[in-house]
Structure 1
Amino acid sequence: MRRPTRDTAESYRKITRRGLIIGGGMSAIVGTLALRMRYLQVEQADQFRLLADENRINIRLIPPTRGRIFDRNGTTVAENVPSYRITMVREEAGDVEEVIARLSKLVTLDPEELDRARRDLERLRGDTPVTLADRVSWEDISRIAVNTPALPGVTPDVGLSRRYPQGEAYAHLVGYVGPVSDRDLERIDAPDALLLIPRFQIGKIGLEARQEELLRGEAGTKRVEVNAAGRVMRELERQEGTSGKDIQISIDNNLQTYCHARLAGESAAAVVVDCESGDLLASASAPSFDPNLFVRGISVANYNALLENEYRPLPNKAVQGIYPPGSTFKMVVALAALEAGELDLTETVYCPGHLEVSNRRFHCWKRAGHGNVDLHRSLRESCDVFYYDMALRVGIEKISEMARKLGIGIEHELPLTSVASGLAPTKEWKLINRSAEWVIGDSVNAAIGQGFVLASPLQLAIMSARIATGREVKPRVIKSIDGVEQPSGVGDTLGINENHLREVRKAMFAVSNDRRGTAYSSRIIEDAFRMAGKTGTSQVRNISSGERATGVRRNEDLPWRQRDHALFVDFAPMDNPKVAVAVVVEHGGGGSTAAAPIARDITLQALYGEDPPLAAYPSKDRGRIKTQQEQLRQYSPGPTGDESDRA
């Protein structure tokens, strides 16, 4: 049956209305989506572009090249050399242990180094390269490169590592670098991001440590594109960092090497100071060690060998070691007495071999005594009683004041670790540190450099330089930084009466050049280079009254650790001082027999700049010196008396 026209029209109207409603709704939805898309794609485009970049681009640090270190003449002391290493990225490796097992079949992996790498792989971010093996050969690198498909996450790499071409000669002074440890990070409030790079090297001791920020430089950056697994696809941008600054030190390499060679076989230290500038020309501590062993982490066996060596190769005896200065301290007491007006150059003190003080007998090294002695003879023959008497007149306060003026008992400003301040004691010091009153016997002991008085070889060398010049010579070890000369240590006048200094210098000259001088056997024959010096011997054990009654045991008859320390200080030439030298030989016995010959040889080497002619030595020594020079020429540093000697 045919539907009426009116019904058909009504149906069309309903359909059209519904279509419009649905169409409008769909249009609204599409419009909303379009607006949202416009908002995301146009207005928020920068934000989403940044998020996308953060997901696919990594920014990695580029370690800077560490600054080099040279001696005063340009000889390389510390340098950077290419070092091949094998690294692993945990995210790329998958099964880390399986990959390591495959790798170990191709190259030899050090167990200790591998344990450290495993710890780093566990605690660091998955995209951080961790060193599995360092300083591998080119052959090892080639094998890794050929087998790369079987070693996911493993990459052969090349970087720079520290090397010390002079070996042991600078181990204590320059120090060494090593991988950053947790202890290093704990000491730093806000560690540089560089320090968080696995196995990044920083200075551990010496100049390397004290000048770390200067030598380290600033890191560069590179932007690399990575895939979803973190594998680097390409490098997008690189910004190089700033290399560390090069440092030129004041040390003369030839003299430094000679000092180490001359001290071989001893537990000793030697310091040479330029009297004009204060430059340290040499600072040697023996025995030494190879700093290159520490760069990549020293083995337990090697480290224990250093710790167990009774000659103590690890401490820097030249600046860190402190010793009773013995008779080398007598110049301090003499100048204190002269400046205080307590000593006249013409007066004498009688020495019967001892002095009674507060019911105690203080002995002179010469049992029979020296008789009547004046200032010159007291230093020339090292009479103890003369200085006991001076101490009673002057008092410890003025003696210690003079000691500090001459450089003892103060910490000299040097960019080295563990620079000792020594000790010039006072009454207040003893009350605070020993909870006891100062007694007169303390002053008597201090008069001959015993008791509480302590000094380092560096301080003794500075003392000699100040006596020689009358100026406050200050030690300098950094000569220039990136070619810029650093302030010298010339220093102002000490304010000590020049006549008093002149008399002390004359007496020191007699020590080495008068037949009755305690160092006459170690004199310099060459007139232009004659030296002024002073022997010293410091006791390390108490001598009982019973032993004195039967005769004091000779040093050579005692165990090594009970023998006296031997010391010698000097400056030369007498009329125009160029260098000041201090030598300490631990448990060496007598200053005149153990320390003076070494100091004389070092002094001549410093003045000539090469092996001195045999004519500069006493005729009786020339045969021995010739043999010694021949032996020392072949030397490469490695880890390796009668009663008057007591003066």
Structure 2
Amino acid sequence: MRRPPKDTEESARRITRRGLVLGAGMLGFMGVLSARMRYMQVDQAEEFRLLAEENRINIRLIPPARGLIFDRTGTPIAENVQNYRIVIVREDAGDLEETFARLRALVPLSDDDVERAMREIKRRSPFVPVTIADQLAWEDVAEVAVNAPALPGVTPEVGLTRHYPLTDDFAHVVGYVGPVSDYDLSKLENPDPLLQIPKFQIGKVGLEAKREDQLRGSAGTKRIEVNAGGRVMRELSRQEGQKGADLQLTIDHGLQNFVNARLVGESAASVVMDVTSGDVLAIASAPSFDPNLFVRGISVKDYRTLTEDDHRPLADKSVQGTYPPGSTFKMVTALAAHEAGVVTAGETIYCGGYKKLGTRRFHCWKRGGHGYVDLNDSLMRSCDVYYYELAERVGIEKISEMARKLGIGIRHDLPMSAVAEGLAPTKAWKQARRQESWMVGDSLNASIGQGFVLASPLQLALMAARIATGEGIHPRLVKSIDSVEQPVVTDGPLDLSPTTLSQVRKAMYNVSNSRRGTAYRSRLLPDEFKLAGKTGTSQVRSVVVDNKNVPWEQRDHALFVCFAPYHDPKIAVSVVVEHGGGGSKAAAPVARDIVARALHGDIPPLDIFPSGVRAEVEEKFNAMPLRREDGFAKPSDRA
């Protein structure tokens, strides 16, 4: 039946309304979809581009070149050498076992190498490169590079590693670097991302550790493109890091080598210091060791050899070792007493071989005594009783105050490991440390450098330097940083009587140049070499023993301090020979030879030594293991 026109019109209107609603809905949906597409393609284009690039582009850190270390003449002490290595990135490597199997067919890798690398890979983030092998030959690296398509995630690299060309001469001063350990990271609150790079080297001891922040530098970055298999396709961009600062030390490598060679065979230490600037010209501890052994991880065998040596090669005796200074401390007691006015330079005190205090006798080293002695005789002949008397008059507080004024009992700011403070004891110190009252006998022992008094070879050299000049200089080890000269630090004049200082210096001169002086045999003849010094012997046992008849480790320590030349002081020297016996026999000849070498600038001529010791000196010099490349000539080489 035919629909009425009215119904047809109504139906058409309904269809039109529905079409409009549906069309509006479709248009709205298309609008939303368009807006979303615009948002994703335009507004968020950069974010999605980066997400896409991360599937094929990696950003890696570039380790900076470590700063170099030179001696005062510009000779390299610590340098960087090329190191060929192979690294792997776990997230790019796929099947690790298969990758390692293929790699072992190309380069020599032991089971231990693979096991160590696997442990390291598991410990590190999947995107951090892990070193599989280093110190490889160029042929091995080239083999890996050629076979790179079959080694996903494996990359050959050329890096830098630390090298110490002068080996044991600077081991205790410069120290050494080594791979970052978990212990190293645990000590840092916000570790540098560089430290996360496996086998990245940082300073472990010595100057390398103390100046780590300056020497390390800052990392660079590189963007590399990798394919789906993890193989590096190309380097897209690179931003180099900041190289570490170069340090120049105050030490002279030629003199340092001589001092080390002169101490061979001993357990000993010596320090040579410029008396006007405080520059440390040489600072040696014997025996030494080759720091290159530690750079890539020392073997158990080598480490055991070092730790089981009774001469303790790993210990830096020059700054870490503290010893009773023995009679080298008598200048401190003399200056304290004379400055306090409790004695005059010309006043004599009788030495009958001992001083009685209550029921106890404090003996002089010379059992028969020295008779009447004044300041000059007491230092020249090293009379103990004279200083017992001074100590009873002036007291420990004044003595310790003078010791600190001369640099003993103070930890000096030198960038070396475990610099010792030494000890200038006081009544308060003993009460606090031992819960005991100070006794007069303690003062008597301290007056001759025994008892509680302790000093390092560095402090003894500084004491001699301050006595020589009357200036409060401080030791300096770093001469310049990136060619910027570092300041010389001084407290100015020591506020000591010039007359008293002059009298002490004169007495020290007579120690070495008067026939009755304890170091007369170790004198030098020309005026430009004449030294002023003081011998010392410190007991290691409470009972006096004959050093010839006891084991080495029970013998007394031998000490000597001096400055030279006497009329125009330039250097101060300290020598400590552990268990060497007497200072005049074991330490003074060493100091004499060091003074001669330091002032002459080379192996000194034999005619500056007394005729009676020339043959002995020549034999010693010819036997010394000096570096011939430094241009040194032994006496036997000369025409």
Measured against the shorter chain, the TM-score band is over 0.9
Structure 1 pair 53/101, CA: closer, same or farther in 2 (3 Å)? closer
Give the aligned partner of residue 560 of structure 2: 568
- Write the letter of the residue equivalent to 2:599: L
Cα shift at 1:317:
0.6
Among residues 612, 621, 627, which one is paired with 2:613 in the alignment? 621
- Write the letter of the residue equivalent to 1:588: G
Listed as ranges, the matches of 1:95-494 within 5 Å are 95-109=95-109, 114-227=114-227, 230-494=230-494
**Unmatched tracts of structure 2, length 5 or more:** 630-639
Cα shift at 1:353:
1.1
C-alpha contact 1:114 1:133 (8 A) present in aligned 2? no
Tell me which moved more, 160-169 or 229-238: 229-238
C-alpha contact 1:64 1:219 (8 A) present in aligned 2? yes
RMSD between aligned residues: 2.3
C-alpha contact 1:276 1:490 (8 A) present in aligned 2? no
Cα shift at 1:11:
12
Give the aligned partner of residue 547 of structure 1: none
Cα shift at 1:25:
4.2
Among residues 591, 599, 602, which one is paired with 1:610 in the alignment? 602
C-alpha contact 2:155 2:232 (8 A) present in aligned 1? no
C-alpha contact 1:569 1:580 (8 A) present in aligned 2? yes
Give the aligned partner of residue 588 of structure 1: 580
Q: 3-state DSSP class of the match of 2:553? A: helix
- Write the letter of the residue equivalent to 2:600: Y
Tell me which moved more, 453-462 or 111-120: 111-120
- Write the letter of the residue equivalent to 1:444: L
Q: 3-state DSSP class of the match of 1:499? A: helix
Structure 1 pair 438/112, CA: closer, same or farther in 2 (3 Å)? farther
Tell me which moved more, 277-286 or 212-221: 212-221
Q: 3-state DSSP class of the match of 1:86? A: strand
Cα shift at 1:47:
4.0
Alpha-carbon distance in 2 for matches of 1:515, 1:4: 150
C-alpha contact 1:127 1:230 (8 A) present in aligned 2? no
Q: 3-state DSSP class of the match of 1:172? A: helix
- Write the letter of the residue equivalent to 1:598: V
Give the aligned partner of residue 80 of structure 1: 80
Q: 3-state DSSP class of the match of 1:527? A: coil
Alpha-carbon distance in 1 for matches of 2:36, 2:196: 44
- Write the letter of the residue equivalent to 1:61: L
Q: 1:436-467 CA deviation, whole Å, 9 max, x = no partner? A: 10011100110110000000000000000001
Q: 1:229-280 CA deviation, whole Å, 9 max, x = no partner? A: 6544333322211111111000000000011100001100000000111100
Q: 3-state DSSP class of the match of 2:317? A: coil
Q: 3-state DSSP class of the match of 2:574? A: strand
Q: 3-state DSSP class of the match of 2:223? A: strand
C-alpha contact 2:154 2:231 (8 A) present in aligned 1? no
Alpha-carbon distance in 2 for matches of 1:627, 1:140: 49
Cα shift at 1:54:
4.8
C-alpha contact 1:91 1:229 (8 A) present in aligned 2? no
Structure 1 pair 420/178, CA: closer, same or farther in 2 (3 Å)? same
Q: 3-state DSSP class of the match of 2:172? A: coil
Alpha-carbon distance in 2 for matches of 1:436, 1:420: 24
Structure 1 pair 432/116, CA: closer, same or farther in 2 (3 Å)? farther
Give the aligned partner of residue 548 of structure 1: none
Alpha-carbon distance in 2 for matches of 1:177, 1:112: 23
C-alpha contact 1:261 1:635 (8 A) present in aligned 2? no
Alpha-carbon distance in 2 for matches of 1:532, 1:169: 27
C-alpha contact 1:92 1:152 (8 A) present in aligned 2? yes
Give the aligned partner of residue 512 of structure 2: 512
Structure 1 pair 34/245, CA: closer, same or farther in 2 (3 Å)? same
Structure 1 pair 153/46, CA: closer, same or farther in 2 (3 Å)? closer
Tell me which moved more, 623-632 or 432-441: 623-632
Alpha-carbon distance in 2 for matches of 1:350, 1:82: 69
- Write the letter of the residue equivalent to 2:570: K
C-alpha contact 2:272 2:573 (8 A) present in aligned 1? yes
Q: 3-state DSSP class of the match of 1:173? A: helix
Alpha-carbon distance in 2 for matches of 1:581, 1:98: 63
Structure 1 pair 35/367, CA: closer, same or farther in 2 (3 Å)? same
Alpha-carbon distance in 2 for matches of 1:440, 1:635: 51
C-alpha contact 1:168 1:288 (8 A) present in aligned 2? yes
Listed as ranges, the matches of 1:10-25 within 5 Å are 13=12, 17=16, 22-25=22-25
Alpha-carbon distance in 2 for matches of 1:541, 1:145: 65
Cα shift at 1:626:
2.1
TM-score (norm 2): 0.94
Give the aligned partner of residue 601 of structure 1: 593
Give the aligned partner of residue 546 of structure 1: none
Structure 1 pair 224/140, CA: closer, same or farther in 2 (3 Å)? closer
Alpha-carbon distance in 2 for matches of 1:68, 1:115: 34
Give the aligned partner of residue 645 of structure 1: none
- Write the letter of the residue equivalent to 1:513: N
- Write the letter of the residue equivalent to 1:422: G
Alpha-carbon distance in 2 for matches of 1:100, 1:151: 9
C-alpha contact 1:81 1:160 (8 A) present in aligned 2? yes
Give the aligned partner of residue 571 of structure 2: 579
Alpha-carbon distance in 1 for matches of 2:142, 2:180: 29
Q: 1:406-428 CA deviation, whole Å, 9 max, x = no partner? A: 11001111122211110000000
Alpha-carbon distance in 1 for matches of 2:109, 2:351: 71
Tell me which moved more, 84-93 or 142-151: 142-151
C-alpha contact 1:526 1:615 (8 A) present in aligned 2? no
Cα shift at 1:208:
0.8
Alpha-carbon distance in 2 for matches of 1:517, 1:536: 13
Give the aligned partner of residue 555 of structure 1: 547
C-alpha contact 1:568 1:595 (8 A) present in aligned 2? yes
Q: 1:179-215 CA deviation, whole Å, 9 max, x = no partner? A: 1111111111111111111111111111111111111
Q: Work out whether 1:94 is the aligned partner of 2:86.
A: no
Tell me which moved more, 595-604 or 354-363: 354-363
Cα shift at 1:542:
1.7
Q: 1:387-417 CA deviation, whole Å, 9 max, x = no partner? A: 1111101100000000000110011111222
Q: 3-state DSSP class of the match of 1:297? A: coil
- Write the letter of the residue equivalent to 1:76: P
TM-score (norm 1): 0.93
Structure 1 pair 151/48, CA: closer, same or farther in 2 (3 Å)? closer
Cα shift at 1:118:
2.0
- Write the letter of the residue equivalent to 2:588: A
Q: Work out whether 1:539 is the aligned partner of 2:539.
A: yes
Structure 1 pair 75/112, CA: closer, same or farther in 2 (3 Å)? farther
Alpha-carbon distance in 2 for matches of 1:390, 1:270: 30
Cα shift at 1:146:
3.6
Cα shift at 1:110:
5.7
Cα shift at 1:63:
1.2
Tell me which moved more, 170-179 or 107-116: 107-116
Alpha-carbon distance in 2 for matches of 1:285, 1:129: 39
Alpha-carbon distance in 2 for matches of 1:432, 1:236: 66
Structure 1 pair 541/510, CA: closer, same or farther in 2 (3 Å)? same
**Unmatched tracts of structure 1, length 5 or more:** 544-551, 638-647
- Write the letter of the residue equivalent to 1:612: P
Cα shift at 1:30:
2.8
Tell me which moved more, 9-18 or 162-171: 9-18
- Write the letter of the residue equivalent to 2:551: P
Listed as ranges, the matches of 1:12-91 within 5 Å are 13=12, 17=16, 22-91=22-91
Q: 3-state DSSP class of the match of 1:570? A: strand
Structure 1 pair 112/168, CA: closer, same or farther in 2 (3 Å)? farther
